[in-house]
C-alpha cells in the first residue's frame, strides 16, 4: 500500500485543501494499492500561485539556459538511479507489462531529460539579424506558467515530454496527473526536490476533471500542454482560444500499418507486435488498422492471428507477459463494447472475442478482426485496447487512400523489403510520425499529429521552441 497524504506545491509537501482521496486500484488484482489526496480547485489555485511566484520573482527564468540545463542534468542522474523503481510503480498502478515498463515507461522519460539537458547547454537564446536602420536582436524567452495535464497510459512519458523542455526553457509548471496513475508522480517529486529545482518551479497535484478544468482556465496559466482524448482536447482548445492562451495538444489516433506484398511477414511480426499492441493496446500511436493486399490478405490475417495467439495474457509483473489488464473496469467495458460493435458490423474475430481470459482483473481477450472495411466503427474510432482490424486494399494507391481516410493523423508504418518504396509511401500518408519497417518516437525529432490528432509538436528542438516566446529588439 503506497499512502500519500500531501501534495507537492511550492517545493514542499503540503496538506490538501479538501478531505477527498483517490484510491489507486490494481488492474490485475482489483485491490486498492495506493491512496493520495484528491486535488481541488483550491489546491490548483495554490499550485498556480506558487508557479506564478517562482516565474515572476524567482531565480529560475533568470538563470541562463545552460544553468537550467545543468539542473535538468542532475535530475536525469537521479532518475537513472531510480528508473527500475519507476517502472515497477507504473506496472502496479496501470497494468503495463513489466517488460514494456522497463523498456519504455521509465527509460524514455529519462532519455528526454538527458536530451534536453544536452540541447539546453548550447541552444541559442539570442541571435542578431540585420535590420533596416541597424541591428535586430531576436530573443527567446520562456512562455511563463505551464499547466501540464496528462493521461494514465504512459504517465511519465507524457509528463516528461512537457516538463523537460519547459524546465530548460525557464518555465514553471503545474502538473496534473490522471487520478488512475498518481503514484509515479510522487517518486518524480522526490527526485525534483533532491535535484535542487527551486521551490515552486514544479508543482504536482493529482485530481479529476473539475479541478483539471479549473487549472486549464486559470488566468495565472500562460500555456496548456495536454495529452489525451480528442474530445477533451477540443474543450481545452476552446478554453485556450477564448483566453488567447498558448496550447499544445497531443490527441487521439487510429493509425494504419500498411503491409506491402514484398514484406517478409515472419520478420515483420516481431516488430509489428510492439507497434500494434504496445502497452496492452493503450497507446495513441498504436497501429490498430492493418492494411493487407487482397492477394495476401488471408496470409496476413493468419500471421497477425498467430502473433497475437503467441502473446501471454496475464499478470503484468511477470516478465513473460505480453499483454496485461486494461487500466480500469470502465476501459474493459468500453473495449468489449467495441468488440460487440465489430461483430454486429459483420467483421469476424479470428482471435479473441468476448470471452475474458481471466476471472479477476480488467482483462480483455486480444482480438483480431478479419472481413472488415474501413467504414466500420472499429476501423474509424479509437478503441484504446488490444483490438486489431485487418482491412484489404486493392493496390498501393488504395492502401495510401485507406490510411489517409481517417479523422486522425498521428502515426503510421509501412512494411516492405524496399526501403525506398516505403519512404515514398511515408511521404504520402498524412501522419505526424511514421516508420518504415519499425516504429519509434525519437527524442530528437518532433512528435505530434495531423488533423484531429492535435496541435503543435513535442520533442526535438521544436518541443523546446513550444515553451519559448520570441522578442525582437531593434537597435542602432
Instruction: List, by residue number, the catalytic residues.
Output: 250, 284
The C-alpha cell of 407 is what?
A: 479523422
Those residues whose C-beta lies under 8 Å from the C-beta of residue 432, and which sit 6 or more positions away, are: 409, 410, 411, 446, 447, 448, 449, 450, 453, 454, 457
Residue 382: strand, helix, or coil? coil
Cβ atoms within 10 Å of 349's Cβ, excluding its own: 18
Helix (H, G, I), strand (E, B) or coil at 374: coil
Report d(CA 304, CA 298) in Å as an integer.
Answer: 10
Give the per-residue SS3 of 185-214: HHHHHHHHHHHCCCCCCEEECCCCHHHHHH
Q: What is the DSSP letter of 305?
A: H
Tell whether the torsion through CA atoms of 45, 47, 50 and 54 is positive or negative: negative
2-3, strands of its sheet edge to edge: 2-3, 32-37, 21-25
Helix then strand then coil, in percent of the chain rounded to 5, is 40, 20, 35
* Grid coordinates belonging to 284: 495513441
C-beta separation of 391 from 215 below 8 A: no
Q: Are strands 135-142 and 468-475 parallel, antiparallel or unpaired?
A: antiparallel
Q: Which candidate, 51, 101, 33, places its Cα nearest to that of 278?
A: 101
Q: How far is CA 49 from the centre of its chain?
A: 27
Cα dihedral sign for 428, 431, 433, 439?
A: negative
Question: How far lies 173's CA from each of 168, 197, 233, in Å?
Answer: 12, 12, 19
- Cα 363 off chain centre by: 22
Amino acid at each position: 500500500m503506497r499512502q500519500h497524504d500531501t501534495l507537492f506545491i511550492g517545493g514542499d509537501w503540503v496538506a490538501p485543501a479538501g478531505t477527498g482521496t483517490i484510491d489507486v486500484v490494481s488492474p490485475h488484482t482489483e485491490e486498492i494499492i495506493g491512496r493520495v489526496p484528491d486535488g481541488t480547485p483550491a489546491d490548483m489555485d495554490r499550485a498556480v500561485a506558487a508557479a506564478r511566484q517562482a516565474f515572476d520573482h524567482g531565480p529560475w527564468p533568470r538563470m541562463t539556459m545552460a544553468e537550467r540545463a545543468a539542473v535538468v542534468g542532475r535530475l536525469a542522474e537521479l532518475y537513472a538511479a531510480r528508473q527500475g523503481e519507476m517502472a515497477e510503480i507504473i506496472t502496479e498502478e496501470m497494468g503495463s507489462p513489466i517488460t514494456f515498463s522497463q523498456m519504455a515507461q521509465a527509460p524514455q522519460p529519462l532519455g528526454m531529460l538527458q536530451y534536453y539537458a544536452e540541447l539546453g547547454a548550447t541552444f541559442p537564446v539570442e541571435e542578431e539579424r540585420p535590420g533596416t536602420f541597424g541591428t535586430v536582436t531576436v530573443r527567446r524567452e520562456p512562455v511563463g506558467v505551464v499547466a501540464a495535464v496528462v493521461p494514465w497510459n504512459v504517465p511519465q512519458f507524457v509528463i516528461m515530454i512537457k516538463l523537460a523542455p519547459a524546465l530548460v526553457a525557464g518555465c514553471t509548471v503545474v502538473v496534473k496527473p490522471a487520478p488512475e496513475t498518481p503514484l509515479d508522480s510522487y517518486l518524480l517529486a522526490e527526485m525534483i526536490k533532491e535535484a535542487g529545482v527551486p521551490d515552486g518551479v514544479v508543482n504536482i497535484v493529482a485530481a479529476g476533471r473539475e479541478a483539471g478544468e479549473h487549472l486549464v482556465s486559470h488566468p495565472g496559466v500562460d500555456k496548456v500542454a495536454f495529452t489525451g482524448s480528442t474530445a477533451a482536447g477540443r474543450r481545452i482548445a476552446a478554453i485556450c482560444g477564448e483566453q488567447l492562451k498558448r496550447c499544445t495538444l497531443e490527441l487521439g489516433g487510429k493509425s494504419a500499418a500498411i503491409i506491402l506484398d514484398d514484406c517478409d511477414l515472419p520478420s515483420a511480426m516481431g516488430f509489428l507486435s510492439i507497434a500494434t499492441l504496445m502497452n496492452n493496446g493503450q497507446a495513441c500511436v498504436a497501429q490498430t488498422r492493418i492494411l493487407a493486399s487482397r492477394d495476401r490478405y488471408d496470409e496476413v490475417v493468419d500471421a497477425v492471428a498467430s502473433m497475437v495467439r503467441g502473446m501471454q495474457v496475464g499478470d503484468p509483473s511477470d516478465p513473460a507477459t505480453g499483454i496485461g489488464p486494461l487500466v480500469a473496469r470502465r476501459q474493459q467495458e468500453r473495449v468489449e463494447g467495441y468488440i460487440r460493435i465489430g461483430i454486429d458490423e459483420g467483421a469476424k474475430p479470428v482471435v479473441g472475442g468476448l470471452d475474458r481470459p481471466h476471472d479477476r482483473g480488467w482483462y480483455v481477450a486480444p482480438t483480431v478482426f478479419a472481413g472488415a472495411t474501413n467504414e466500420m466503427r472499429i476501423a474509424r474510432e479509437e478503441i484504446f485496447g488490444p483490438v486489431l482490424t485487418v482491412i484489404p486494399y486493392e493496390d498501393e494507391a488504395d492502401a495510401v487512400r485507406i490510411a489517409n481516410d481517417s479523422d486522425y493523423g498521428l502515426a503510421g508504418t509501412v512494411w516492405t523489403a524496399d526501403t525506398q518504396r516505403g519512404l515514398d509511401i511515408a511521404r504520402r500518408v498524412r501522419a505526424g510520425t511514421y516508420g518504415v519497417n519499425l516504429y519509434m518516437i525519437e527524442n530528437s525529432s518532433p512528435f505530434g499529429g495531423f488533423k484531429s490528432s492535435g496541435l503543435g509538436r513535442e520533442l526535438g528542438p521544436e518541443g523546446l521552441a513550444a515553451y519559448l516566446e520570441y522578442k525582437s529588439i531593434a537597435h542602432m
